[in-house]
Structure 1
Amino acid sequence: MASTSMSSVLLLLVATFAASASAATFTVKNNCSSTVWPAAIPVGGGTQLEPGQTWTVDVLAGTTGRFWGRTGCSFVGGSGHCNTGDCAGALNCTVSGQPPTTLAEFSIGGTEDFYDISVIDGYNLPMAFSCSTGAGLVCTSPTCPEAYRFPDDDSKTPGCSGNSNYQLTFCP
């Protein structure tokens, strides 16, 4: 009986370590002079960030998703509306935001990750996006040369080593 309990504890510790080893941490910061309501799918829903505040989201390996900033939002009890980036009136998004939205897209692979900025769905906020081991991308206008601007634009996806940490800043 004691060896079964010890085996269960060891298995739990190994599973916990494996889960934490295959994750990336995203730190989202609002450097804008007004409130931004960042959203993320499928990993984090959404939140309110006043100027200077940050939001941290852990993302498991094998996850592909996006972050975007929403502006002009008003929420009561988890539902409301945003002027840009609205996601069906929800504070915690489960669907992509309505254009225009500047997107920070990612694919966490475990051994190698990929990330980009996209203005294919329009542009609503300047942003900077980088990982701890890769290139930093900055997009401050709708014609951003470092962003995807049309669907077949495939030259702007930097990679970085797996389990990297990411920094996303609105109004860099």
Structure 2
Amino acid sequence: MRHQRVLVLFFILTLTTRCFIGSESTKFIIQNRCPDTIWPATLAGSGTPQLASTGFQLSPGSTTSLDLPTGWSGRLWARTLCSTDSLGKFNCDTGDCGSGTITCNGAGGAPPASLIEFTLSGHNGNDQDFYDISLVDGFNLPISVTPQGGSGTKCNTISCPVNLNSGCPGELALVGAGGRAIGCKSACFALGQPQYCCTGGYGSPSTCPPTVYSKYFKGACPQAYSYAYDDGSSTFTCSGQPDYLITFCP
């Protein structure tokens, strides 16, 4: 009898712990369909914990997954053209987080980088997941997000499937070895002027309309954020706590 009581108590404690930490919550399934190895990374938003992995290697054709706690918010991106120097310092040509290691440990990626942003249900009382693809920090890789389950009129697959590097305006291009564009900077990052950053006298939707540069991003990737005030056609929501398939180079 004592052994049975211990088993019952263990079961109750295990179930309670799972409910508390949200182990049955959202999962990211991350796949690399690019021809080259990439190094995805994550950064938690304010007030939510960093994930168990903040950076990892993903070879072509590979898939991995990450578990997210209830109410998590943050971003995910991929670093490209990474290597380790003679002193053992890890660095990447795009999306580098400056940690010197494969894990980013709470640091964000340097622009230009294609971002996926999430605020999951349970965060500040939300009953929906909010997600988007953002090119506000520029572009380095095509990307897509597909809910696995869930419901809602805006619970859709979203993508930026086009390689924007090849046609990037010269003044925005990040050029790598051999003169090839490996990233496309935002006009704010590249030019630093308030009309592109929506700052100063341009700090409202009415005074900061789309520019020729943001229209380049939006024309190719209409579901993605192209600049700061591009909310209307760029934010998506799901109810029902789905998982999300994140594909680089869909």
Aligned to 2:109: 97
Aligned to 1:169: 247
Of 140-149 and 25-34, deviating more is: 140-149
Give 1:79 shift: 4.1
Q: Would you say the 8 A contact 1:78–1:91 is kept in 2?
A: no
Show structure 1 runs of 4+ deviating over 6 A: none
Distance 2:242 2:81 in 1: 32
Matches within 5 A, 1:1-172: 6-7=8-9, 9-18=11-20, 19-21=22-24, 23-42=25-44, 43=51, 44-75=53-84, 79-88=89-98, 89-93=100-104, 94-110=106-122, 111-132=127-148, 133=150, 134-139=155-160, 140-142=162-164, 143=217, 144-155=221-232, 156-172=234-250
Give 1:163 shift: 2.2
Give me the TM-score of the superposition, normalised by structure 2. Answer: 0.62
RMSD across aligned positions (CA): 2.2
Give 1:75 shift: 3.4
Give 1:16 shift: 1.8
Distance 1:106 1:114 in 2: 6
Q: Would you say the 8 A contact 1:79–1:91 is kept in 2?
A: no
Of 76-85 and 86-95, deviating more is: 76-85
Give 1:8 shift: 6.0
Distance 2:88 2:9 in 1: 43
Of 88-97 and 62-71, deviating more is: 88-97
Q: Specify the SS of the correspondent of 1:71.
A: strand
Q: Specify the SS of the correspondent of 2:81.
A: coil
Q: Would you say the 8 A contact 2:23–2:67 is kept in 1?
A: no
Identity of aligned residues (%): 39
Distance 2:56 2:89 in 1: 12
Q: Which amino acid aligns with 2:147?
A: C
**Residues 1:29 and 1:85: Cα distance change in structure 2 (over 3 Å):** same
Q: Which amino acid aligns with 2:129?
A: D
Give me the TM-score of the superposition, normalised by structure 1. Answer: 0.88
- Which structure: greater helix fraction? 2
Give 1:29 shift: 0.5
Give 1:4 shift: 8.6
